[in-house]
Structure 1
Amino acid sequence: MSELINNSEKRKNLLKHLILQLHSGEAPEQVKERLIQLLNSIPYNEVVEVEQQLIAEGLPEEEVLRFCDIHTAVLDGSIDTSTAKSVPNGHPVDTFKQENRALEERIKRIELIFQKLGIATEEKTNNYLLQLQYLFNELSDVDKHYLRKEYLLFPFLEKAGITGPPKVMWGKHDETRELLKAAREALSHAKGATKEELATVISLVLQPALEAIEGMVMKEEEILLPMALDTLTEEDWYQIYVETSVYGFCLIDPQEEWKPESTASKEPVFLPGNAIRLSSGSFDMNELEALFVTLPIDITFVDGNDKVKFFSHSPKRVFERNRSILGRDVRLCHPPQSVHIVEQIINDFKSGKESKAAFWISNFKGRFVYIEYTALRGKDDEYLGIIEVTQDITDFRKLEGDQRLLSYSSKS
């Protein structure tokens, strides 16, 4: 096939012809062999173009989806990805790949348990089944990985005119979700099964779920992600990055932050629907308001300029607050005899000498009250203000022994 090396159009035409032959069932082993030979010299983007063309020319998406597993077996490790771009730590592609490594690690552990089940005693078998239940529950975290692709990555590809691969992959996501659901259901009823019955469950239910996840890992890393890196701008990737925490991460908690140097974008603070984004998730404004009202502690925030900026307005606050204090210098919110303590806390926190100060009152209207002041510092340890947290701990001080059974409190 040396005549194809520098001829993209001929490569794609031949690949298209071979895939159609494979789909029609013509000498599958011989066709697969020719496909592998061709794929050793064809860039990943041409594989995607051919799939896109087949869908555009009328090959039903269901048909492409039905034979997708055949493609996976043929393409695995055979596509040339040497031209794929590298990405820095924290980039959305880096996160996708870290998640894939975590998925593969769980799959290896599961397959090791499969091997042990064949020679395990009854007691060991039950233990292994519990481990499998736990690991398959962990694998179900892949749903967040797929959701980020479906709702963050795919829309940018579609805007660029790449619609075929996302549609096929979305279909495979749904298949994998169903396979994982079936696997969890089978494991929930597997206790007491014979070794023969377990072998059947493994081969017909559990193994297909693992193969589906592994197949998608290959498709992502050899086709989807390199193609996306060639297609999306850094601005696109940054939008994906800042929205990622809305859907959550799969099995990992990334520590690296990423912001492209070339983009002038600022990270948006608000999501659609008047929700606010934080580094570890997001809240609808009504949810955030309800959270601060419901928390069993009172919170007051004094900003870096010593102004009262926020307080939680729980109906059971220990110390009364009203909105007239907002914007007021915190020194003016305390009686003269205690202002010197407030001043010292502010100075010690600002200088970095201290970061926490605690007080408690043993009899405030018959209650034991704990008050803690904590310096609020940013990512670079810059001083941002002070958080005051107050809590009525009277009932906590009375606790003894353990409370391990469910018991609803009658107190409202």
Structure 2
Amino acid sequence: MSEIINNREQQMYQSNDRLNNLKLIFKALHNGGNFDEIKAHFDGFIGKITMEEISNLSNEFLEDEGISIEEVHRMYKEHMELFKGAIEEKEPGGKKPEEQPGHPIHTFKMENRALENLLDTKMSVHLEQFKEEDSAEHVYKLIEDINLLLDVDKHYSRKENLIFPYLEKYGIYGPTNNMWRIDDFIRDNIKHAKKLLSSYQGDKKAVLEVMDWVIEETHAMIYREEHILFQMALDHFTEDEWVKIANESDEIGFCLVEPAVVWNPDRKALDENAISEGYIKMDTGILSLKQLELLLNHLPVDITFIDHEDVVRYFSHGKERIFARTKAVIGRSVQNCHPPRSVHVVEELLADFKSGTKDSEDFWIKFKDKYVYIRYFAVRDDVGNYIGTLEFTQNIDPIKAIDGEKRILS
């Protein structure tokens, strides 16, 4: 580390400027310094670190440096090694919320135990068997394991769509910017492993490399969640917020196991705001708020509205949504509702709408068993001012299957 940190910086390590000391340690890691020397400096001048410091510093450093996704992944691994055993724990006191069956964190941890069991007692064993003999039987066992591991997408999706939005409300953006990227790396490599195994042609080395990576990184993500993310959330979220997260988790689903029970905190149930019976007068009619919501929810499409500041303000809630939405996205920046690798597409589209270059944009994709038509419309007022963006999503498989005619009387 001496070749990276000059004399002035060495003096800073001996100062009380904790933030600068941490920044120098991060920069030394980024610049390829000797890990053992950096770890010694960390232990000597920092010692313990809080979850907030890790999140805020990681986010600030990554934004300032503008490093690549690949570098983010490398640094994340090194940071976690650096912080092992150094994260400050809260003083014990009573039964912790995550110990209550049905609490979202209790469920997340149950899923992590199920994932560890899958990785350690099945996948690792089957991988060793495959390493010894890449027979069709051993390939098939690994495919079965991978099919189970694909369920981790639900675990990550709940984290990204329920935990991250509330952290952002408290000004904590590190997990959204950094952890979501790693989640996507893991998802992609699980799918890649399945592809290699499903069309296996004897490339044992490629299979072993990707499977080893998947096992290692899934374990590492469990560590990050349980030593940083979950405690950070528990330190900030109110009980009402945890109740909302628990109630909306069913919308996305669970990974390998279900919640132990329905969580009922030891207090009165939440008072849900009833929909007002007031009326809204429009140019072409008058509807009550109740009628309006029911009308929108009965449309055979999903609609989402994003305001002029890119904040999600509304989404319809029909019986069969195509893409999962939770109420936690309301009031959230639309950029933070998408995986980091696709944010640039969203920003380009919104920029075109705001500048008037475009008024609409269409996409169509295969999604699970559906053929999905996604349309975006710039919403403008009577004088052309940009008010927001309407997203319109529809399963068009039934429409594509239409043939001939069906008249109303038939």
Distance 2:90 2:138 in 1: 41
Q: 1:267 to 1:102 in 2, by over 3 A?
A: farther
Write the mapping of 1:189-208 to structure 2, written as runs, cut at 5 A: 189-190=199-200, 193=202, 197-198=203-204, 200-208=205-213
1:53–1:249 Cα change, 3 Å: same
Please list the CA deviations of residues 354-378 of structure 1 after superposition, one character each: whole Å capped at 9, or x if unmatched.
Answer: xxxxxxxxxxxxxxxxxxxxxxxxx
Q: By how many angstroms is 1:40 displaced?
A: 5.3
Match of 1:218 among 219, 223, 240: 223
Return closer, same or farther for 1:287/1:53 CA change in 2, 3 Å cut-off: closer
For the Cα contact (< 8 Å) 2:107–2:258, is it kept in 1? no
1:256 aligns with 2:279: no
The one of 138, 148, 154 aligned to 1:144:
154
Output the amino acid matched with 1:97: K
Aligned match of 1:20:
27
- SS state at 1:67 partner: helix
Structure 1, unpaired ranges of 5+ = 1-6, 276-282, 289-412
What's the counterpart of residue 241 of structure 2? 236
Between Structure 1 and Structure 2, how many residues are aligned? 267
After TM superposition, the structure 1 stretch with the greater mean CA deviation from structure 2, 138-147 or 58-67, is 58-67
Instruction: Determine whether 1:116 maps to 2:126.
Output: no
Distance change >3 Å, CA 130–CA 237, structure 1 → 2: same
Q: 1:157: how far off?
A: 0.6
Contact kept? 1:129, 1:187, Cα under 8 Å:
yes
Distance 1:44 1:285, change over 3 A: closer
CA distance in 1, matches of 2:68, 2:165: 18
Instruction: Verify: 1:102 aligned to 2:114, yes or no.
Output: yes
**Alignment match, 1:159:** 169
1:17-166 to structure 2, matched below 5 A, reads 17-35=24-42, 41-55=48-62, 57=64, 59-60=66-67, 62=69, 64-83=72-91, 86-87=97-98, 88-108=100-120, 109-120=122-133, 125-166=135-176
Structure 2 match to 1:274? 297
Structure-1-length-normalised TM-score: 0.57
What root-mean-square deviation, in Å, do the aligned CA atoms of Structure 1 and Structure 2 show? 3.3
Query: Shift of residue 38 of structure 1?
Result: 6.3
Rate the CA distance shift 1:250–1:287 in 2: closer, same or farther, 3 A: closer
Question: Would the aligned equivalents of 2:49 and 2:86 in 1 still touch at CA under 8 Å?
Answer: no
- Determine which structure has more spread, i.e. the larger CA radius of gyration: 1
Tell me how far apart the structure 1 counterparts of residues 123 and 43 of structure 2 sit (CA, whole Å): 30
- Name the counterpart of 1:328: none
How many angstroms apart in 2 are the aligned matches of 1:174 and 1:116?
A: 28
Task: Rate the CA distance shift 1:119–1:43 in 2: closer, same or farther, 3 A.
Answer: same
Which TM-score applies when normalising by structure 2?
Answer: 0.58
Give the 3 Å change call, closer, same or farther, for CA 18–228 of structure 1 in structure 2. Answer: same
